[in-house]
């Protein structure tokens, strides 16, 4: 299984790239984590946030093959503990399909992305900066994997 993190935003600061790569490289081959960066919509004076979300949503959906299990990172989604994420990961592995995790831009995910999602997951009720979400997500996926492997990284 591959986990494809599809995130709006490119040209991230070095600390974001380093943080993400630190955890993504720890993931094993049988549960590899890859990043697909989506170019953000061009914010102009005449355009509206809904227009930007729609444009970004089209790009996100174009980057996800039809057969993938899709999870939308959405503030109104379900909150998962690390242990629940580990159980989710086990279900994804059992399902045998690749998984796509969608992270929207500053204005969130378009409705078309939310409709495509098989699950909606909220990392936090707080608003997190989108670059930081990449790092938190990569670390939590690694932590969930270590739980499945009975590795001592996670201490509960």
In CATH, what number is assigned to the domain containing residue 69?
A: 3.40.1280.10
Helix runs in the chain, H state only: 14-24, 49-62, 82-95, 111-116, 130-148
pLDDT of residue 119: 97
In a domain, 154, yes or no: no
pLDDT of residue 35: 97
In a domain, 155, yes or no: no
Q: Which domain holds residue 137?
A: 2-148
> How far does Cα 140 stand from its chain's mean position?
11
In a domain, 156, yes or no: no
Q: What residue numbers does the annotated binding site cover?
A: 73, 104, 123-128
Number of domains observed in the structure of the chain = 1
Would you call 79 helix, strand, or coil by DSSP?
Answer: strand
Reading the chain (156 residues) residue by residue, the pLDDT tens digits are: 999 999 999 889 999 999 999 999 999 998 999 999 999 988 777 778 888 899 999 999 999 999 999 999 998 999 999 999 999 999 999 999 999 999 998 889 999 999 999 999 999 988 888 889 999 999 999 999 999 998 777 666
Q: What residue numbers does the annotated binding site for S-adenosyl-L-methionine cover?
A: 73, 104, 123-128
């Amino acid at each position: 299984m591959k986990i494809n993190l599809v995130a709006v935003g490119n040209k991230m600061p070095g600390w974001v790239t380093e943080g993400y790569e630190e955890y993504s490289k720890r993931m094993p081959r049988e549960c590899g984590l890859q990043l697909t960066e989506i170019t953000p919509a061009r914010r102009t004076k005449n355009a509206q946030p809904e227009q930007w979300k729609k444009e970004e949503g089209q790009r996100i959906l174009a980057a996800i093959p039809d057969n993938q299990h899709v999870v939308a990172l959405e503030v109104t989604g379900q909150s998962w503990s690390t242990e629940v994420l580990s159980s989710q990961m086990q279900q994804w592995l059992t399902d045998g399909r690749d998984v796509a995790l969608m992270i929207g831009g500053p204005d969130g995910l378009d409705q078309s992305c939310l409709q495509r999602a098989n699950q909606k997951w909220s990392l936090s009720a707080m608003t997190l900066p989108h670059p930081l979400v990449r790092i938190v997500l990569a670390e939590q996926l690694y932590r969930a994997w270590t739980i499945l492997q009975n590795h001592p990284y996670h201490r509960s």
